[in-house]
Each structure stands twice: as C-alpha cells, then as structure tokens.
Amino acid sequence: MKNIVVLVSGGGTNLQALIDAQKQGMIPNGRITCVISSNPDAYALVRARENGIGTRVIVPKEFSSREIYTKALLEALFQEYADLIVLAGFMTILDEAVIHAYRNQIINVHPSLIPSFCGPGYYGLRVHEAALERGVKYTGATVHFVNEVADDGPIILQKPVAVQPGDTPETLQKRVMQEAEWVILPQAVSLFCNGRLEVKGKTVWIKG
C-alpha cells in the first residue's frame, strides 16, 4: 500500500477528486495519508479533515529562509513515509532538494496540453486566458512527474477538451477540471500505486 501525501494551497478540488476516487476503490494500492498545506486557511484542509485524513500546515513565509522551509517540508514528508507526492493546486515552487529526494515520486496536474501554455507564469485562469487568446480548438490537462523545470517533467497522461464558442476563461477552466483534471489525476495516481509507470528519459511508459 503506497502512502500518498497531497500538497495544497487552496480550495482542494483536485484533492476532492482523489478522495472520491479512493472511496470508489479506484486507487486500490494507495491511500491518502496526509494533506500538507502552505496556507492555513485553505479549504482543502477542511476536505481532508472531513474525510479523516491527517493534515499539516507548513507556511513558507513563516521560515527565515527557503532552505529552512525546505528542510521542514522534507522532514514532514519523511515522517509521513510518503511514497507519492501529489501537487494539487500547490502554489509554492519546490526546492531541488525535494525533487532530488523524491525523483519520479512527485506528480503535478496542469490545466493545458503541455508543452502548450505552461511554464513560469502559467497557472490558474492565466492558462485558459492564453488558450482563448491563441484561438486553439482543443485544450485539456496533463499529469506529469515534477523535475527541476516548471511543467517540464515526463508526461504521464493527457486528456483533450474542446474549446466551445463563447467560452470565457472561467467556463473553460471549469470544463477542463471536470472533463480532464478530475479524470486523469486519479488515473495517474492509480497507475503509480500499481507500479505500472516506468520513466525512460523524458518518456513515461505504462506497463501492462
């Protein structure tokens, strides 16, 4: 059984998708053991507590340096025996020390089809604004392993979503979450926990 630790900063809709998938037996070899928030007021913490999941709050600005914050985060991950770390709306860039300690054990969901509309500055509504400004006919979501470069890690799963006439960034964001993010994030977590992911360079092979 793999221990899944979810890092959050906000409302926790992707966390809720994972909780729902776990309840439905869609992650048979994994369990969410802890939710760590960088924001003490994150609603994701409420979602976790209502479902009997342990929580921790580690606020970056409360530490005198990035190094000390990173040490505290790593200590928490070690204490939770984390096998998989899921970034679910986590608004803090992880230090390389965390990535090195958990190579190919950290996954993130991004609301576009990487390599489009990703990298520094592309988060939240900005991603969908950029997609609409460019006039793409399809956008979507990507689940990928995290490396030292923003949104650059090996891609695990992607799912396209059609852009509709009259879409606003808000309506597109909602549809991408419902039709893509909440679908492929639990799938990727399940694949990891079942030992079906193999990374070769920048490519992820799904075994079986």
Ordered DSSP codes for the chain: -EEEEEEESS--HHHHHHHHHHHTTS-TTEEEEEEEESSTT-HHHHHHHHTT-EEEE--GGGSSSHHHHHHHHHHHHHHTT-SEEEESS--SPPPHHHHHHTTT-EEEEESS-TTSS-STT--THHHHHHHHHHT-SEEEEEEEE--SSTT-SPEEEEEEEEPPTT--HHHHHHHHIIIIIHHHHHHHHHHHHTT-EEEETTEEEE--
pTM, full prediction: 0.96
Give the pLDDT confidence score for residue 105 in this predicted structure.
98
Per-residue pLDDT reduced to its tens digit, 125-180: 999 999 999 999 999 999 999 999 999 999 999 999 999 999 999 999 999 999 99
The active-site residue out of 100, 110, 128, 144 is 110
Per-residue pLDDT reduced to its tens digit, 5-55: 999 999 999 999 999 999 999 999 999 999 999 999 999 999 999 999 999
Give the pLDDT confidence score for residue 18 in this predicted structure.
98
Answer yes or no: 110 catalytic: yes
Give the pLDDT confidence score for residue 208 in this predicted structure.
87
